[in-house]
Amino acid sequence: MRIGNYKVYFKKKGSYIVPLIFIVVMLLYLKETTSNFFSLSMIFVRLITFISIFFLLMIFREDMEIKKITSKKVPYEQELETKTSIVSITGDVGKKILFILLTASIFFVIEILGYAITAALYLIITMYILEIRNYKLIIFIPAFLITFLYFVFVVWLRVPLPTNIFGF
């Protein structure tokens, strides 16, 4: 698409669909929750929703290419070859689908395995999908995060986390 002196296009066809769907779902969720609940109780939900929308917009922007049109005509394929990106969030479609399925499966697995085991498995598998191969990080980050969240919710806020049949 051409906007003024700029050409805007996506790196891959259909790369904007998943972030766009999530943005729409988050906006609908925000609309539904703010109409049903008292506004002060929704401060945290609004914050998380807006942060999530911000990061989804960043993913959306990463997939987009904006080029200034010069007088010299460059074919579309040549433009893609000359553009280099330092950080690329776009990756294999299979990894994105696996990540979405893994995230959706948490809601079912957490009732059976409890918070601690489910969160540890989720973080380890997600880090492996993101190609983090440093085993010290794969062990340290889930252990630290689970311990930190346990102390925040159970000890400080006194909110119980889901437990399994063994009580942890």
Domain co-membership, 151 together with 122: yes
At 120 the pLDDT is 93
Residue 1 has pLDDT above 70, yes or no: no
The 64-68 sheet, strands edge to edge: 2-3, 6-10, 64-68
Using DSSP bridges, classify how beta strands 2-3 and 64-68 pair: parallel, antiparallel or unpaired. Answer: unpaired
Phi-psi region of 115 (alpha: psi -120 to 50; beta: other; left: phi over 0): alpha
- Look up the domain containing 115 and give its range: 91-168
At 3 the pLDDT is 64
Helix (H, G, I), strand (E, B) or coil at 160: coil
Number of domains in the chain: 2
Domain co-membership, 80 together with 142: no
At 22 the pLDDT is 78
Domain co-membership, 34 together with 113: no
Mean pLDDT of 52-68: 76
Which carries the bigger pLDDT value, residue 157 or residue 78?
Answer: 157
At 161 the pLDDT is 87
Domain co-membership, 98 together with 77: no
Which carries the bigger pLDDT value, residue 51 or residue 91?
Answer: 51
| 10, 61 contact by CB (below 8 A) | no
Domain co-membership, 11 together with 55: yes
Domain co-membership, 107 together with 149: yes
Domain co-membership, 80 together with 97: no
Q: In Å, how far from its chain's centre is CA 67?
A: 27
* pLDDT tens by residue, 107-165: 888 888 989 999 999 999 988 888 888 888 889 999 999 999 999 888 888 888 888 87
* 1-10, 56-65, 110-119, range with the lowest pLDDT: 1-10
Q: How far apart are CA 68 and CA 129, in angstroms?
A: 35
Query: Smallest Cα–Cα separation from 27: which of 2, 56, 6?
Result: 56
Task: Residue count of the chain, please give it.
Answer: 168
Residue 93 has pLDDT above 70, yes or no: yes
CA distances from 32 to 22, 43, 97, 143, 166 (A): 15, 14, 27, 35, 37
CA distances from 145 to 16, 91, 109, 166 (A): 31, 26, 19, 21
Work out the percent of the chain whose per-residue pLDDT is above 90: 12
Model pTM score: 0.49
At 86 the pLDDT is 41
Strand partners, 8: 66
Domain edge (last residue) among 84, 103, 121: 84
Domain co-membership, 161 together with 97: yes
